[in-house]
Amino acid sequence: MAEFVDSQYFPEGYAVPDPNDALSRGFWEAAREGRLVVQQCRDCPTVQHPPEVLCHACHSFDLGWKDVSGRATIYSFTRTVHPANDLLRERGPYNVVLLQLDDHPEVRMLGNVLDADEEGALAIGMPLRVVFERTAVDPDVGEIVQPRWRLAEPESG
């Protein structure tokens, strides 16, 4: 079962993705349902993220979405201390991780790890699991749900 969280990682007023963005609509629709997906070519085995107009390997425009497990590993990370604007100055330091999907290590995704903003909380190689943040309900575009991450226990076996 997917875990949904109602607290927001970034403050009210911070930009939120437009879930009707032409290329990535399927990604945000899946997030509403608690599914993490990557773009999948229907004419060859390629998966790619972020979504692109066409398959970069075979040039097919016939692209769909593939569910992935939502388990991943930290490939790199930063803890941003110097804020880019006043809104984030009030929020305080936050983390950004670059992760590798366990199902598709060739695909990297950017993310944030919840409850891990303090110095020393993150390290390369740590396992992650996806959760879904109910960021906002927008009168024009509906519910906006974004994947975030939690530190996970290493999978046994």
Partner 1 sequence: MGKNAARSIRDKVCVVGVGESEYGRHGSIARPEFQLAIEAILAACSDAGLDPRQLNGFASYANDRNDAIRIATALGVEQTAFNNMHWGGGGGGVAGAVANAAAAIVAGYADYVVAYRALAQGQFRRFGQASVTGRSRGQDMWRLAVGLLTPPQRFALPIRRYMYEYGVTSEQLGLIAVASYKHAQHNPRAVMNGRPITIEDHQNSRMIADPLRLYDCCQETDGAAAVILTTPERARDLRRPLVYLAGAAQGAGYREGAMSDNRPNYTTAAFSDVARRLYASAGMGPEEIDVAQIYENFTGLVLMAMEDFGLCGRGEAGRWVEGGRIEHKAVADAGAPHAGALPINTSGGNLAEAYTHGFELMVEATRQLHGTATLPVEGARTSLLVSGPGVAPASALILHN
Name the residue nearer to partner 1 (CB basis): 13 or 157: 13
Q: How far is the CB of 102 from partner 1 (least distance, A)?
A: 16
Q: How many CB atoms lie within 10 A of CB 113?
A: 23
Burial category of 12 from C-beta neighbours within 10 Å (exposed 0-12, middle 13-18, buried 19 and up): exposed
CB of 97 to partner 1, least distance (A): 8
Q: Residue 76 to residues 21, 53, 101, 111, 125: CA-CA distances in angstroms? A: 27, 27, 13, 11, 8
User: Is residue 105 near partner 1 by the rule CB under 8 A?
Assistant: no
Of 1, 6, 45, 84, the residue at the interface with partner 1 (CB under 8 A) is 84
Cβ 79 to partner 1, closest distance in Å?
A: 4
Cα distance between residue 102 and residue 53, in whole Å: 24
Q: Is 124 a binder of partner 1 (CB under 8 A)?
A: yes
Among 1, 6, 45, 82, binds partner 1 (CB under 8 A): 82
CA-atom Rg of the chain in angstroms: 16
Under 8 Å CB-to-CB from 1, ≥6 apart: which residues? 34
Of 114, 112, 115, 90, the C-alpha closest to 13 is 90
- Please identify, among the stretches 39-47, 59-67, 106-114, the one whose residues bind partner 1 according to the rule CB under 8 A: 106-114
Contact string 37-66 vs partner 1 (x = CB under 8 A): -----------xxx-----x----------
Structure tokens at 104: 């598709």
Binding footprint of partner 1 on the chain (CB under 8 A): 9-10, 13-18, 21, 23-24, 48-50, 56, 75-82, 84-85, 87-88, 94, 96, 98, 107-112, 119, 124, 138, 141, 146
